[in-house]
Structure 1
């Protein structure tokens, strides 16, 4: 099928640069009229409807690993060569693994989060939250993101990794920079790739020191548990352990910052819901789920077809990318009655 024959979004691509400021009305329009279409802006299929999104996420023929390969292959040869130092580590991220490797890494990392570690996390999060709020009260004013939503996740992960809180600013900088890897096929150049290499090298060295210290003097903490974790005779090798600690730092920072800020914003806009939650704290879990639905931290996830396949009546060719739009699916009235209501 030629590009001119591919279905396009009714009324314009909601991922075009002129529509990103207020995307949700555009998501709804396109989802209702062209739920699967080809985006020239993204050079990818886009899947918008809940049922199709679910089918795409469950289809083993749509690969996470292949999206990384496709991004790197999009770069000129000299940039691909330049990227090797960072890619050697970051390419081992769990999110870029498929099938057996993905399951193995998930199981090994899950084994690190023992009930005792989870309880320690609860206690630490409560203490860090109280400290941030006390400081805000003392100042008498706050910036929701800068003073609370952004620092809290990095502080939590800093403690989780067993690093001193003095590392907070460093981890925050590293976490922001290493996220470039997700879009390196688009933003990779002679400036961004050396910066990514530099930050990756620094993170590998720093986290490697934390791991070496735990090997010498084990503690009752996450890294010690990850070192010891074993699943059907398999253990994490050093690169997998370091790489996925880096991923945990990056993903836990940015996604949690967005979720905390969005959740508080929604509750402040809806005083009735805020009062309901205050009166019944047991509703906290469902409130978090609703925040994740309304303002997902990851509007899209990307897959690539390993073979020709059918999705929602369209033929996806092998090698083509598929952007699975979680944000549009989360407002699909076929799945969520009154989707615009928080």
Structure 2
């Protein structure tokens, strides 16, 4: 155990550029307690992998629990709004994690991912052709933010005109879970989360009544009406996880990859 090297994910300079702090932590404080978020921070890759592998000592159940404890107002909004999210993939331990992983993999196959390639290529060309004549573009706003949203919408069977809803929901969820929020901001985001949860419930109910060739319908086919495989709320929770992981994190990864390639094309 070593002293906190100055971990503050909510303010600059770390908010704008966290990498110098992480580099320092790897050298001086590979494992430290961050009182500001009441969590232990592990900085070295080998140690992180060891944590992931040691299922007896470490749990994932709090991995997407809000860093800032929810106040009574936000909790009430979630209850009144029918918020039914349950632990699914990234925040679940065995044996429940194995149940989710096994059943999701029956629907989310390598073949289904490969079938997305023509759609991704077409959409990417559409966007690039739209700004190519100008000779320059902000790649994040023009391409890297919207394209992952359109892909995940297509995968799940959500109309593309819902892209702003999905983008807002992904951003809201990230802030709701990992933000330093005052009670009024918590309540505002809780209301937005409830609205999006209702949107997902409606999608699932529509696919129960009229299945299509999308991942939502495939998950319902795996369920087969059996709550021991998936409940309806559990399928909605999987969809919510896919929408966040398939959009915000993908956009950030692509943006960092492009920046790295621009800095060093040989990387």
TM-score bucket of the superposed structures, by smaller chain: 0.7 to 0.9
Question: What aligned pairs does 1:124-135 form with structure 2 within 5 A after superposition?
Answer: 124-135=119-130
2:84 to 81, 84, 89: 89
Measure the CA separation in 1 of the matches of 2:162 and 2:154: 10
1:168 to 155, 163, 170: 163
Measure the CA separation in 1 of the matches of 2:239 and 2:76: 25
| SS of equivalent to 2:151 | helix
Which position in structure 2 is the counterpart of 1:47? Answer: 42
Q: Which runs of 5+ in 2 are unaligned?
A: none
- How far off its partner does 1:144 sit? 0.9
- TM-score, scaled to structure 2: 0.84
- How far off its partner does 1:37 sit? 2.0
Measure the CA separation in 2 of the matches of 1:160 and 1:118: 9
The structure showing larger relative contact order (alpha-carbon pairs under 8 Å, at least 6 residues apart) is 1
Measure the CA separation in 1 of the matches of 2:204 and 2:74: 31
Contact 1:85–1:197, Cα closer than 8 Å, also in 2: no
Which position in structure 1 is the counterpart of 2:30? Answer: 35
Contact 2:78–2:194, Cα closer than 8 Å, also in 1: no
Aligned CA distance change for structure 1 residues 81 and 150 (closer, same or farther; 3 Å) = same
Deviations 1:272-328 (A, max 9, x none): x2xxxxxxxxxxxxxxxxxxxxxxxxxxxxxxxxxxxxxxxxxxxxxxxxxxxxxxx
Which position in structure 2 is the counterpart of 1:312? Answer: none
Measure the CA separation in 1 of the matches of 2:67 and 2:81: 14
Contact 1:82–1:193, Cα closer than 8 Å, also in 2: no
Measure the CA separation in 2 of the matches of 1:157 and 1:200: 18
* Equivalences, count: 262
1:249 to 243, 251, 254: 243
Aligned CA distance change for structure 1 residues 216 and 90 (closer, same or farther; 3 Å) = closer
- How far off its partner does 1:199 sit? 2.0
Which has a greater percent of strand? 1
| SS of equivalent to 1:187 | coil
Which position in structure 2 is the counterpart of 1:208? Answer: 201
Which position in structure 1 is the counterpart of 2:60? Answer: 64
Contact 2:32–2:42, Cα closer than 8 Å, also in 1: yes
Deviations 1:135-187 (A, max 9, x none): 12144431110001000000111111212211112221222112233236x42
Query: Which 4+ residue blocks in structure 1 deviate beyond 6 angstroms?
Result: none
Aligned CA distance change for structure 1 residues 81 and 227 (closer, same or farther; 3 Å) = same
Larger Rg: 1
Measure the CA separation in 1 of the matches of 2:8 and 2:122: 40
- TM-score, scaled to structure 1: 0.68
1:237 to 226, 231, 236: 231
- How far off its partner does 1:70 sit? 8.2
Deviations 1:28-50 (A, max 9, x none): 23322232222233333222223
Question: What aligned pairs does 1:1-342 form with structure 2 within 5 A after superposition?
Answer: 7-9=2-4, 12-15=5-8, 17-20=11-14, 21-60=16-55, 61-66=57-62, 74-77=69-72, 79-85=74-80, 88-183=83-178, 186-187=180-181, 189=183, 191-230=184-223, 234-271=228-265, 273=266, 342=267
Which of 130-139 and 75-84 deviates more? 75-84
- How far off its partner does 1:68 sit? 5.6
